[in-house]
């Protein structure tokens, strides 16, 4: 029997369900779901979407916490021929509304527990025709122009056989929203071809197999979290789903019970675990592979991680949403190339160019450029921003990705991250726009000027610092501003410190001089 190669994202589920119908695909808390169950529920949802009028290339949004239903939604949307976008459940109403309108999503799948933000966002949405709700549908404010459906009814009903649209690898598979320098998120366009290629490249260098069980602690809206799901289904493995590591004891208990073999994390997670190890000797022999991205993994963490995961290979990695992953360091080299993030992932190429576009010599600073099938199609409806990131390649018509990050490369071709050229702050594995935080603080009465910067932080990647000036003798403190930010922004966007100044340093063209603010902060540390 000839084995058909995977060309489309949803085919991984169909292939794995055929090979392992009764095998556990998803574990959530104490409940296990088989591949056949995931396939059946996803196909029923796909059938409903088609009956509801969804056509190939339409966008369907998922706004919920990590759950069985969110996973069914992702694969149901994929099988229907639509493109999915997963929105972080921490997203507030204003940004949620912007993403829905920007994407032109026709259907939204969400949960009753998020009805407050959801109701506010839908009041100003322009394209949503139907909302599918998990849980209490009565919590959502009804709008006459939007149809409401119950998720559980849709995946339990016996629908007539539906002819799903024909999809090809060049079709849009997903929009992955990432923060922009204007304060508004950008939708990274990923095709089936790019996401299938990326999944297999990651699987190859991480040495994954159907025996692996991956634990998910990261939101599916974060591409690092999303690809844990895609890889698990592609290899026919199992995914153990958690919403976060907030409740550490619960997560550690799940590890003891279900014995995952792969642990993806970010430095903030590892810092918490290292503290637990020092207090109680926390250790997990079942973990065979540990991965890190989003922020650089401090070299000082490595000895402690080896105590927590004594049987594990430790993979350091670097990537950006616009191509998912750029490079990785072979775990056998982690003690020899401690500060490096390795070489290009399989099937791709990287090189460094000066600001003028010329190749740089080994050891010299250069801006990282990426070439390969994993590079995004562009930003959704943002052609100018796309041109800024996608540059002309050596081949006619080819486009390569400019990371806007400074690196150096040694004589052996290993990459070392030096810093960012743009204003985006990367903290806790998330890209954060300073403009979005500044706009929130400006809403506070009496605020004169605001400047938000990122400062390198071993654990967070970058910590967020907000400099503020006020009108007159305004009685407002650091905690007041942080509280206001918490009410309007996701938690990872709340500044760690608020610093009050009499006057902001200015450049010659009267703009706030953020370089000078960084110098001031580092000098006073």
The pLDDT tens digits of the residues spanning 14-26 come to 999 999 999 999 9
Strands of the sheet with 497-500, listed across from one edge? 447-457, 461-470, 497-500
pLDDT digits over 441-465, tens only?
988 888 888 889 999 888 898 999 9
Report the relative pairing of strands 378-379 and 366-371 from DSSP bridges: unpaired
Rounded to the nearest 10°, the torsion over CA 377, 378, 384, 387 is -60
pTM of the model: 0.88
Q: Indicate if the pLDDT at residue 509 is higher than 70.
A: no
- Domain spans of the chain, in order of start: 11-167, 194-420, 425-524
Q: Indicate if the pLDDT at residue 341 is higher than 90.
A: yes
Total residues belonging to the chain = 525
- In this prediction, residue 1 carries a pLDDT of 55
CATH code for residues 11-167? 3.40.50.980
Q: Exposure string (b/e) for 353-379, b if CB count within 10 Å is 16 or more?
A: beeeeeebeeeeebbbbbbbbbbbbbb
Q: How deeply is 503 buried, as exposed, middle or buried, from its count of CB atoms within 10 A (0-12, 13-18, 19+)?
A: exposed
> Which range is most confident: 61-70, 160-169, 290-299, 472-481?
61-70
CATH 3.30.300.30 correct for 425-524: yes
Sequence-ordered list of residues with C-beta below 8 angstroms from that of 261, at least 6 positions apart, any chain: 211, 212, 213, 214, 286, 287, 288, 289
- In this prediction, residue 381 carries a pLDDT of 95
Q: Please tell me the chain's helix, strand, coil percentages from 3-state DSSP, rounded to the nearest 5.
A: 35, 25, 40
- In this prediction, residue 182 carries a pLDDT of 59
Contacts 24+ apart (CB under 8 A), 116-121: 117/91, 117/92, 117/93, 118/63, 118/93, 120/93, 121/93, 121/94, 121/96, 121/97
Q: Indicate if the pLDDT at residue 97 is higher than 60.
A: yes
Q: Indicate if the pLDDT at residue 246 is higher than 90.
A: no
pLDDT digits over 191-217, tens only?
999 999 999 999 999 999 999 999 999
- In this prediction, residue 175 carries a pLDDT of 98
Distances (CA, A) of 54 to 83, 173, 184, 190, 503: 10, 14, 27, 19, 54
- Do the two domains 11-167 and 194-420 of this chain adopt the same fold? yes
Q: What are the tokens at 61?
A: 């949004």
Q: Indicate if the pLDDT at residue 181 is higher than 60.
A: no
Sign of CA dihedral 436, 442, 447, 449: positive
User: Residue written as tokens 């995961």?
Assistant: 309
Angle between helical axes of 267-280 and 301-308 (0-180°, round to 10): 60
- Closest by CA position to 325, among listed 432, 413, 226: 226
194-420, which class in CATH? alpha beta
User: Residue written as tokens 């009814």?
Assistant: 153
Q: What are the tokens at 172?
A: 């849009």
Residue 105 phi/psi, 5-degree rounding, is: -60, 135
User: Residue written as tokens 């063209």?
Assistant: 509
Residue 98: HSE in the Cβ half-sphere, 13 Å Cα cutoff: 16
Query: How far apart (Å, rounded) are the C-alpha atoms in residues 57 and 165?
Result: 10
């Amino acid at each position: 029997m000839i084995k058909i190669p995977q060309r489309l994202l949803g085919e991984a589920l169909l292939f794995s369900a055929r090979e392992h119908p009764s095998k556990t695909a998803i574990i959530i808390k104490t409940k296990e779901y088989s591949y056949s169950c995931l396939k059946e529920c996803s196909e029923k949802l796909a059938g409903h979407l088609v009956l509801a009028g969804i056509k190939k290339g339409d966008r369907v949004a998922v706004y919920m916490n990590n759950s069985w239903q969110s996973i069914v939604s992702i694969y149901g949307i994929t099988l229907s021929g639509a493109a999915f976008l997963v929105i972080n459940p921490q997203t507030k109403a204003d940004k949620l509304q912007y993403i829905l309108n920007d994407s032109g999503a026709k259907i939204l799948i969400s949960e009753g527990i998020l009805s407050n933000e959801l109701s506010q966002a839908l009041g100003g949405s322009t394209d949503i025709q139907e909302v599918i709700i998990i849980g209490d549908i009565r919590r959502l404010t009804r709008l006459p122009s939007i149809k409401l459906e119950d998720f559980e009814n849709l995946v339990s009903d016996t629908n007539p056989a539906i002819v799903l649209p024909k999809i090809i690898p060049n079709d849009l598979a997903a929009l992955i929203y990432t923060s922009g320098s204007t304060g508004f998120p950008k939708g990274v366009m990923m095709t089936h071809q790019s996401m299938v290629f990326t999944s297999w490249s990651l699987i190859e260098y991480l040495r994954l197999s159907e025996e692996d069980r991956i634990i998910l602690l990261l939101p599916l809206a974060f591409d690092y979290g999303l690809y844990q799901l895609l890889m698990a289904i592609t290899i026919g493995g199992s995914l153990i789903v958690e919403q976060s590591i907030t409740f550490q004891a619960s997560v550690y208990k799940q590890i003891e019970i279900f014995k995952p073999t792969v642990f993806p994390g970010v430095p903030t997670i590892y810092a918490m675990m290292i503290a637990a190890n020092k207090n109680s000797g926390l250790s997990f022999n079942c973990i065979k592979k540990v991965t890190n991205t989003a922020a650089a993994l401090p070299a000082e963490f490595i000895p402690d991680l080896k105590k927590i995961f004594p049987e594990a290979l430790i993979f350091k990695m670097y990537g950006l949403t616009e191509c998912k992953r750029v490079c990785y360091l072979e775990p056998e080299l982690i003690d020899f190339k401690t500060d490096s993030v390795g070489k290009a992932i399989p099937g791709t190429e990287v090189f460094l160019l000066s600001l003028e576009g010329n190749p740089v010599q080994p050891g010299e600073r250069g801006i990282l450029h990426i070439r390969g099938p994993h590079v995004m199609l562009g930003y959704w409806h943002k052609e100018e921003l796309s041109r800024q990131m996608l540059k002309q390649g050596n081949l006619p018509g080819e486009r390569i990705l400019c990371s806007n990050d400074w690196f150096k490369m040694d004589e052996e071709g290993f990459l070392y991250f030096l810093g960012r050229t743009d204003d985006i702050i990367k903290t806790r594995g998330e890209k954060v726009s300073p403009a979005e935080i500044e706009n929130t603080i400006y809403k506070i009465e009496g605020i004169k000027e605001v400047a938000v910067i990122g400062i390198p932080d071993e654990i967070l990647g970058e910590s967020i610092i907000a400099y503020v000036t006020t009108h007159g003798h305004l009685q407002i403190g650091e905690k007041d501003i942080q509280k206001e930010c918490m009410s309007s922004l996701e938690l990872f966007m709340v500044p760690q410190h608020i610093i009050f100044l009499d006057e902001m340093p200015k450049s010659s063209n009267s703009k706030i001089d953020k370089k000078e603010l960084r110098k001031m902060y580092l000098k006073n540390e």
